């Protein structure tokens, strides 16, 4: 579950042998600094995320990471999110005071 959620839009995506790197529209704070990039394993569900999609990031989990070069696989720390104003109740609803009600964790 994404508890300390911040939503980022993906502005670029690069593939590397062991991971995929997403450029984001804002900075993520890490214990060792901040960066507008996040690296995830290059397999499901991250390999299908596209430029323009949104990622929900648990900022508390990311802040504890000592380096922005960590490769993430935990969908409880980072996940694709979509906006569904009418709600899809089979998906986890995300309540973020910075965004309108209706963001859900994408599980399609």
3-53: per-residue pLDDT in tens?
677 889 999 999 998 899 999 999 988 877 888 999 999 888 888 899 999
Q: What is the value of pTM for the model shown?
A: 0.76
| CA distances to 16, 58, 78 from 45, in Å | 16, 17, 11
Q: Is 64 helix (H, G, I), strand (E, B) or coil?
A: helix
Model confidence at 101: pLDDT above 90: no
Mean pLDDT score, 53-72: 79
CA distance 22 to 46: 10
Model confidence at 95: pLDDT above 70: no
The reported pLDDT for the residue numbered 105 is 60
CA distance 11 to 26: 10
The answer to whether 13 touches 26, Cβ cutoff 8 Å, is no
Which two structure tokens, joined as six digits, stand for 108? 């399609």
Residue whose C-alpha is closest to residue 7's, from 59, 50, 54, 41:
54
Q: How do the domains of the chain map onto residue ranges?
A: 5-105
Q: Which residues 6+ apart lie within 8 Å of 47 measured at CB?
A: 20
């Amino acid at each position: 579950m994404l508890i300390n959620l911040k939503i980022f839009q993906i502005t670029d995506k690069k593939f590397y042998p062991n991971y995929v790197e997403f450029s984001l529209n804002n900075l993520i704070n890490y214990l060792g600094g901040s960066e507008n990039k996040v690296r995830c394993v290059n397999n499901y569900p991250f390999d299908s995320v596209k430029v323009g999609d949104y990622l929900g990031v648990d900022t508390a989990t990311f802040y504890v990471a000592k380096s922005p070069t960590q490769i993430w696989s935990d969908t409880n720390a980072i996940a694709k999110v979509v906006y569904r104003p009418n709600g899809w109740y089979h998906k986890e609803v995300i309540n973020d005071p910075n965004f309108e009600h209706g963001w859900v964790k994408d599980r399609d």
